[in-house]
Structure 1
Amino acid sequence: MMKNIYKKILCILALGLVLTSCENYLDDAPKGSKIPTTLADYEAFLRDEYANQSVNVAQALNLMNDKFIDIATLAADRLTKANYMWDETTDRIQLNQEDESTYYMQYKGISTFNLIIANALTTTEATEEQKRAVWAQAKILRAMSYYNLVNFYADTYLASTAGTKLSVPLITSADINAPSKQVTIQELYDFILNDVKEALPYLPKVSQTALHPNLGAGYAFYSRVYLQMSNYTEALKYADLALAENNKLYDWNAYYIANKAVIDIPNDYTNTPSPMGYNYVENYTFRHGERTYLSTEYSIPVERAQRFETGDVRFRSRWELRTVGADTYYRRTLSGMFNYGGITTVEVYLIKAECLARANQISQALEVLNTVRKTRIQPSSYQDIVTTDKTTALNAIFRTKNNELILTIIPFADARRLNAEGTYKVSFSKVNAGTTYTLSSTSHLWTMPFPQGATRNPGNGTITQNVAK
């Protein structure tokens, strides 16, 4: 079902930013190629899961220390080391000459979605409702890609500065000659919100595949964006609408019991099947993370593993302690597919919990939080979190959310949001080989530099770095 129907995108990717205009390129079909004319032709691009649906945020994971980096890699990859070891003296702009996949893959997807948006409504062999659905799904996916870019390469949203600080190039055409403008953060968020607004009336309640955003995905993404803007009223509103479409939570306790005989074997790293694939009951829409072909997830550092709750069977089912030479870490033990770039119900539950706590509805917020935790924490270890203190409640929500969405962009985006707010700041500290390393809440490292390939060859526009180094 999920196989990419078209092995090659029919329009040529140029300058890493935009696909060649079909108005020009499709005047003459190359021998052996097909000109897309039907809705099915354009809908097939949505199924290009290993390109258009891939979300690589590896350097954000490095900065968060959410994935383990071995000694050999730290010695060889200076950009990875700068982020992983929180080295503020390093000029990451100079080092970022090859780490370009985050930038180019997101824009490759955007270009494809632009192509669909421009042509879906005039295709053949489909009803108007079917055309509108594909058009709307491309709008949601384009908005999701821009969300990833602005929360990687630009400062986080802050209402007081969003109108003056630059974000990323905004491109709305698949034409190779289309101009791009590096718009402000506010302009890009306005664009994202408008894409979702226009798409919502046409999204199907049940979509063709997990790669096609449904109505629940539209509501859930709306909620994510409003949360990042600290608009808790709207974030809660759309979280509730999303959960009305799908409120299922996966029973990780049942998974652990079913696979316990393999999981609990000491020093055995036999892979068990990942339940977080296309049919994961928590999916609103599925998108890959960086590791699309290897079909395994990342191992994690010992220090990161210590932030999981006692009795967390989701953690126990995914990683096991291992020492190889000088490296000790928690090795990944699942194989299969992982929804790292899409949206799941657990994220929306925890958005709802935060919004309720922000509104001082502490008991209701904890009810939502504990609903999630009961499906993750072993019954012998489980206790409801009970408090009347807002800060305690929010910290419990943040902890659970960081653990639930580890290896996605969300913990990174949340940390940036909380640091900009200033009340619940995020900072890290670790000791390595006797030296203490810290990442402060105000560090410039929280914004990633554009790759040099993009700034040197910005297409039909200009790009200004959003970070000094």
Structure 2
Amino acid sequence: MKNIYKKAVYLIALGLTLASCENYLDDAPKGSKVPVTLADYEAFLRDEYTNHRVDVTGAMHLLNDQFLGISTLANNRLFTANYMWDENADRIALKPSDETAYYSGYAGISTFNLIIENALTATKATETEQRVVWAEAKVLRAMNYFNLVNFYADTYTASTAATKLSVPLITSANINAPSKQVTIQELYNFILNDVNEALPYLPKVSQTALHPNLGAGYAFYSRVFLQMNNYTEALKYADLALAENNKLYDWVAYYNTNKAVIDVPNSYTTTASPMGFTYVENYTYRHGSANNSGGEFDIPVERAQRFEAGDARFTSRWKIRTVGAETYYRRTLTGFFNFGGITTVEVYLIKAECLARAGQIGDALNVLNTVRKTRILPASYQDIATTDKTIAVNAILRTKSNELINTLIPFADARRLNAEGIYKVSFTKTANGNTYTLSSDSHLWTMPFPQGAMNSPGNGTLTQNVAK
């Protein structure tokens, strides 16, 4: 764990040196600046590539949401274990000593801890301005902990959350800060408390796309309560979030504008991603596994088949391609992608699921169809209409997994649904004449901690949450 802080504490960003003010203000390294003013601390929130990276590579591989070719599978045994659902593989032994998902998560937490510790006493700011930066850091810290617990620990289940371990909880930026691997319930309580304390001070309008606003706070609260199977609270905060921002991007219009490029056979000329910093669906923007300007990920043929016919969002993003013995769907957007933040479409679909589970099927489908009308081409579009709860919930979950592909949420949802046991998620595929299955109760749904964290847990202890 100490390595996490070596990375985070000595990171120089925007001309500042991360350090605990208590220990280092009197001995600033020569040529560096110690943060003192609120502007100094707020600047850390803009360090997007360090503090807003949400890497979920292992989850994407397990779900087969990212295409891995023959050469990659031959050279990376950990990728192969997840992608081919190999339950005999020892992923703990294969886990590298330095893994982005873990270390970037805690590097961000160290930064947010620094802000939380010092923003309320920072100079050259009013108390109101101090509280805003403090609240934004609170939400971002909670988001990082949510990502980590839903990657490295079992999913939340009320009956076991108080006994099962989650991830190390660290609340100080000090390099020697103690860490404690708390229970899943303790960590969720901490996350909820962080957001609850932040909500009164979050601004309605963000300073930048990286700064969480009030809508982001409500949306994230809704996400957390859904993961806890608390549909009443999840619905309540979904409505509050949508009252702040209910815009949906018109992917049908995007396709129509760009179809002269998109529809050219065997051409992979790219078009610009609309899912960047100014995406109308953004509550807050964070990078995903591909954290800089460029393309997103190619996807397997089997994964492409789970999209609806006439999905303009899908058609605008991928096109089938064969190279040698491999056929896959090639990415056709370039630019920035909000794969680590929160968008309105997620909240619409949280609301739809909560309504369906409450038996309000018609209302749930109205919400679902509101989303689909901005995605499905008119020639293919039909309202989904049913009185059957199972059909309605499955339609909502299908749309959600497609909308949020390349994010943590389909993985987190699948774990939640499998633990609940009603709408279980499992997959089967055939490759090279062999059949592979990812069962709903597989241990592969929990990722192991990396070797580096296990070998150097810092000022605390760390126990693996999965056998292999």
Same fold (TM over 0.5): yes
Between 226-235 and 264-273, report the one with greater CA deviation: 264-273
Q: Which residue of 2 aligns with 1:137?
A: 136
Superposed, 1:258-269 pairs within 5 Å as 258-269=257-268
Q: Which residue of 1 aligns with 2:439?
A: 440
Q: Matches of 1:25 and 1:429 in 2, distance apart?
A: 55
Are 1:241 and 2:246 an aligned pair?
no
Offset at residue 24 of structure 1 (A): 1.8
Offset at residue 226 of structure 1 (A): 0.1
Offset at residue 252 of structure 1 (A): 0.3
Q: Which residue of 2 aligns with 1:5?
A: none
| Residues 223 and 348, structure 1, Cα contact 8 Å, conserved in 2 | yes
Q: Matches of 2:263 and 2:150 in 1, distance apart?
A: 38
Are 1:322 and 2:321 an aligned pair?
yes
In structure 2, give the amino acid aligned to 1:29.
A
Q: Which runs of 5+ in 2 are unaligned?
A: 1-5, 12-17
SS in 2 for 1:352: helix
TM-score (norm. length: structure 2): 0.96
Superposed, 1:156-171 pairs within 5 Å as 156-171=155-170
Q: Which residue of 2 aligns with 1:179?
A: 178
- Consecutive aligned runs of 4 or more in structure 1 exceeding 3 Å deviation: 8-11
Q: Which residue of 1 aligns with 2:82?
A: 83
| Residues 196 and 218, structure 1, Cα contact 8 Å, conserved in 2 | yes
Q: Matches of 2:9 and 2:446 in 1, distance apart?
A: 32
SS in 2 for 1:51: helix
| Residues 9 and 110, structure 2, Cα contact 8 Å, conserved in 1 | no
Offset at residue 127 of structure 1 (A): 1.4
Deviation readout 1:279-328 (Å, 9 max, x if unpaired)? 00000000000112352100000000000000000000000000111211
In structure 1, give the amino acid aligned to 2:10.
I
SS in 1 for 2:49: coil
Are 1:357 and 2:356 an aligned pair?
yes
Offset at residue 98 of structure 1 (A): 4.1
Q: Which residue of 2 aligns with 1:300?
A: 299
In structure 1, give the amino acid aligned to 2:58.
Q
| Residues 236 and 351, structure 1, Cα contact 8 Å, conserved in 2 | yes
Q: Which runs of 5+ in 1 are unaligned?
A: 1-7, 14-18
| Residues 276 and 335, structure 2, Cα contact 8 Å, conserved in 1 | yes
Q: Matches of 2:194 and 2:347 in 1, distance apart?
A: 20
Q: Matches of 1:440 and 1:20 in 2, distance apart?
A: 45
Q: Which residue of 2 aligns with 1:192?
A: 191
In structure 2, give the amino acid aligned to 1:162.
A
Deviation readout 1:357-402 (Å, 9 max, x if unpaired)? 0000000000000000000000110000000000000000000000
Q: Which residue of 2 aligns with 1:12?
A: 10
Q: Which residue of 2 aligns with 1:207?
A: 206
Instruction: State the superposition RMSD in angstroms.
Output: 1.2
| Residues 22 and 174, structure 1, Cα contact 8 Å, conserved in 2 | no
SS in 2 for 1:210: coil
Deviation readout 1:237-258 (Å, 9 max, x if unpaired)? 0000000000000000110011
Q: Which residue of 1 aligns with 2:23?
A: 24
| Residues 11 and 25, structure 1, Cα contact 8 Å, conserved in 2 | no
In structure 2, give the amino acid aligned to 1:11.
V
How many residues of Structure 1 are paired with residues of Structure 2 in the alignment? 457
Q: Which residue of 2 aligns with 1:122?
A: 121
Q: Which residue of 2 aligns with 1:108?
A: 107
Q: Matches of 1:187 and 1:267 in 2, distance apart?
A: 53
| Residues 114 and 172, structure 1, Cα contact 8 Å, conserved in 2 | yes
Offset at residue 25 of structure 1 (A): 2.6
| Residues 288 and 340, structure 2, Cα contact 8 Å, conserved in 1 | yes
Between 288-297 and 367-376, report the one with greater CA deviation: 288-297
Q: Matches of 2:284 and 2:406 in 1, distance apart?
A: 17
Offset at residue 404 of structure 1 (A): 0.2
After superposition, the Cα gap between the structure-2 partners of 1:9 and 1:78, relative to the gap in structure 1 and judged at 3 Å, is closer
Offset at residue 20 of structure 1 (A): 4.5
Offset at residue 26 of structure 1 (A): 2.9
| Residues 56 and 289, structure 1, Cα contact 8 Å, conserved in 2 | yes
After superposition, the Cα gap between the structure-2 partners of 1:432 and 1:99, relative to the gap in structure 1 and judged at 3 Å, is farther
| Residues 138 and 194, structure 2, Cα contact 8 Å, conserved in 1 | yes
SS in 2 for 1:186: helix
Q: Matches of 2:19 and 2:166 in 1, distance apart?
A: 24
Superposed, 1:325-344 pairs within 5 Å as 325-344=324-343
In structure 2, give the amino acid aligned to 1:332.
R
After superposition, the Cα gap between the structure-2 partners of 1:245 and 1:362, relative to the gap in structure 1 and judged at 3 Å, is same
SS in 2 for 1:367: helix
Q: Which residue of 2 aligns with 1:422?
A: 421
Deviation readout 1:182-206 (Å, 9 max, x if unpaired)? 0000000000000000000000000
Are 1:229 and 2:233 an aligned pair?
no
| Residues 169 and 463, structure 1, Cα contact 8 Å, conserved in 2 | yes
After superposition, the Cα gap between the structure-2 partners of 1:294 and 1:324, relative to the gap in structure 1 and judged at 3 Å, is farther
Deviation readout 1:169-223 (Å, 9 max, x if unpaired)? 0000001111100000000000000000000000000010000000000000000
Q: Matches of 2:344 and 2:297 in 1, distance apart?
A: 22
Q: Matches of 1:26 and 1:55 in 2, distance apart?
A: 31
TM-score (norm. length: structure 1): 0.96
SS in 2 for 1:366: helix
